Amino acid sequence: MYLQEYQRWLQKATDDPDLIGELKKIEGNDEEIKDRFTLDLEFGTGGLRGVIGAGTYRMNIYTVRKATQGMANYIKKQGGAGRVAISYDSRNKSRRFSEAAAGVLAANGIHVFMYKELMPTPCLSFAVRELKCDTGIMMTASHNPAKYNGYKAYGPDGCQVANEAADAIYEEMKKTDVFDDVKTMEFDKALEEGLVTYIPEEVYEAYYANVKAQSVRPGVCAGTQMKLVYTPLNGTGNVPVRHILKEVGVANITVVPEQEYPDGNFPTCPYPNPEIREALEKGLALCRETGADLLLATDPDADRVGIAVKDGEDYRLLSGNEVGVLLTDYICKARMENGTMPKDPILVKSIVSTCLADAVAKSYGVTPVNVLTGFKYIGEQIHKLEEKGEESRYLFGFEESYGYLSGTYVRDKDAVVGSMLIVEMAAYYHSVGTSILERLEAIYEKFGRWLHKVDSFEFEGLAGMDKMKDIMAGLRAGAPKEIAGLAVVKTEDYQTHERRDTVTGQVEKIDLPASNVLVYTLEDGASVVVRPSGTEPKIKVYYSTVGKDLAEADAKREKLAQSVNGLLGF
């Protein structure tokens, strides 16, 4: 079958010269053909993601068109307004894929609002809500290597589509032949006929106004003597991040020249992820050269932001958990001081993010709400508040993977507002003669030295997937009573929705969507979270430990890891 499909693509895939050349190049290479044509890319809650290239198991204009036809069919069956917003990042083919998607929607009578130039993921979320669209499409593979691209789908609430909607779109895709069942129109013709319109300037301005409104100490950045180095990692952040920093008065910004402009090949960092030190090396070198106080780095679609801060003669990278805690503390303290703390405020964070944030939030009278991994679940909490007219209660949300959101104007993590608040926080501490690091140490002094670490275990092939299932089933069949000699005092199974107090035997219902996640809370307050990745063949184990200092917390984590490795069969 895969050879027949390959032959069909040779005949019909004529719209992209790059694909024609690739198809001819692999002629006679059975392994290459099999890899590209045996399977189709699956559409899930994250949309599509894959290697760019020719074939049904690759990201190309044909697989993009097929996904978009499935979306068009879904929109029509839902009886929506017939409006879709599209944005794209700096990745190779992102603009081309966006135009291909727009052509399909236009051919199906669905109006498209498209950003004229590359814009971050949060700007897509904003446009969906601002323009009252049925769905949104963001062409990005986030922080993956250059060979990847992806297609994120958003619902009318500005969140990534829910499981039910993703399943419905995928069902429509499976009924759609990649060539014969897809309606399409040339992008220029759709633009000329008014079926595609570029997103107006007022939407850009409204987005920036909403970001700026999240400042909790307006004016603190104006005239700051703090030095800042910024890298957009060749992505979409360059214009919007610099725009908002200029708006709040930050003047002393040096941009990493090799990473300033959009480049889908990411020539200076094979893995453009601000969580990884290698991606920040150019920025760190420039920091040392200029004596900067702070390094700011956004990923290609500018929904994540990482930082490094001056620490003596060198620079220290802060984790997503540490920045999340610092921003929680900064926002709460400022809101209390200026009298803008809402009634019954909440902090929303993922279950794998640090418990330290819960303690900090509670110290300010803020209720922490823990949700499943994935920022759409944070957006879902905002939506629930909005339905009750209580969205002002939402104070801040974050994930340990460098995603932050203040405000309710978008429903995804936003590195633009994250960047603004981080710089504002740094400028404030600088103005009162202290620093981000000193504040972090003060928090540790008060609440204990928390350490968070993630271990990943890879499982290759179909046998690997079965192994992962067996491990999770084994943990459920025989829940550990202790880990590294510490009693398990609470277990949480997000697949069965059960939270069990192992001391009293009391069982509570977890009011969250089902997810294959197990959480063990230990007698000393440490926790272990076991979670298969939703996008990769990996099981991830998240450790949270607390000690009087880093060495003690790390020693506890090492003992837990040894014990858990045994439970997992390693």
Q: Are the C-beta atoms of residues 131 and 83 closer than 8 Å to each other?
A: yes
Q: Taking the alpha carbons of 372, 374, 377, 378 in that order, is the dihedral positive or negative?
A: positive
Through-space distance between the first and last CA atoms of the chain, rounded to whole angstroms:
39
In sequence order, which residues have a C-beta less than 8 Å from that of residue 194 and are 6 or more positions away? none
Nearest to 126 by CA among 209, 187, 47: 209
Tokens at residue 10, please? Answer: 């040779």
Reduce the DSSP state of residue 229 to 3 states and report it.
Answer: strand
- How many CB atoms sit inside 10 A of residue 120's CB? 32
C-beta neighbour count of 477 within 10 angstroms: 7
Query: How big is the chain by its Cα radius of gyration, in Å?
Result: 24
Amino acid at site 325: V
Tell me how far the alpha carbon of residue 167 is from its chain's centroid. 21
Phi, psi of 9 (to 5 degrees): -65, -35
Catalytic residue, chosen from 87, 94, 125, 142, is: 142
Token pair 């609430």: residue: 157
**Token duo for residue 461:** 């092939």
**DSSP 8-state assignment for residue 426:** H
CA distance 109 to 389: 35
Give the DSSP per-residue string, 540-566: EEEEEEEESSHHHHHHHHHHHHHHHHH
Active site residue 98: no
Q: Which of 339, 334, 345, 338 is nearest to 390 (CA)?
A: 345
DSSP H or E segment with residue 463: helix 461-477
Decide if 217 contacts 428 (C-beta within 8 A). yes
* Size of the chain, expressed as the number of residues it contains: 570
> Who contacts 310 (Cβ-Cβ below 8 Å, separation ≥6)?
287, 292, 293, 294, 435
Nearest to 369 by CA among 392, 387, 395: 395
Angstrom distance (rounded) from CA 63 to CA 97: 9
Do residues 254 and 230 make contact, with C-beta atoms less than 8 angstroms apart?
A: yes
**146/266 Cα distance (integer angstroms):** 6
- Lay out the sheet containing 367-371: strands in order across: 367-371, 346-350, 394-399, 403-405
Task: Tell me which amino acid residue 297 is.
Answer: A
Amino acid letter, 32: E
Residues labelled as active-site residues: 142
